[in-house]
Amino acid sequence: MTDAAPRLFFAVWPPVGTAAALADWAREARRECGGRATPRERIHLTLAFLGDADPEMARARGAAIRLPGLSLRIEQARYWAHNRIVWAGPLETPAGLQALARELGETRAFAAHVTLIRKARPPGTLPPPPALEWPVTQFTLVNSVLGPEGPDYEVLERYALE
């Protein structure tokens, strides 16, 4: 636990095999762009970033969700210059994921992406990402706790989709 202000977010974590395939890809892609690859166990897709929100309000929001599970395809890998990340994700954000993000409190435009490398240089050509179909059956409320070795993720609650 920490006394620091909470940095809350809702996210989905991939099945372990999916995470391993994405982590392997990130290690390979790093040859193209340097930066820091996300360790396998920290790979996730953020649905809504709430920051310094009231944890009880966030828990209530998560518990109120009545939405079906869905399948998320990994179909492309891209570089974003504005925050220097390399990410993988679907060609288009699935409508169900969009709805979930909105109901969880994300107010900004939501583009489904999984950050795999931070502090990356602009790559030439990224290797094609593994074609994956990630079953999204639950989501989590997480607090990002700043530790001596960077942020640590503390899972506060898990919620099932229907």
Residue count of the chain, please give it. Answer: 162
Q: 29, 19, 10: which is closest to 110 by C-alpha?
A: 10
What's the min distance (Å) between Cβ of 128 and ligand 2AM? 21
What's the min distance (Å) between Cβ of 11 and ligand 2AM? 7
Kindly tell me which of 9 and 134 has the beta carbon lying closer to ligand 2AM: 9
Q: 85, 92, 101, 95: which is closest to 43 by C-alpha?
A: 85
Q: How far apart are CA 119 and CA 84, in angstroms?
A: 5
Q: According to the binding rule CB under 6 A, does residue 115 interact with ligand 2AM? A: yes
By rule CB under 6 A, what string of x and - marks binding of each residue 63-102 to ligand 2AM?
----------------------------------------
> CA 5, 15, 22, 114 torsion: positive or negative?
negative
State which of residues 10, 13, 49, 110 lies at the interface with ligand 2AM (CB under 6 A): 49
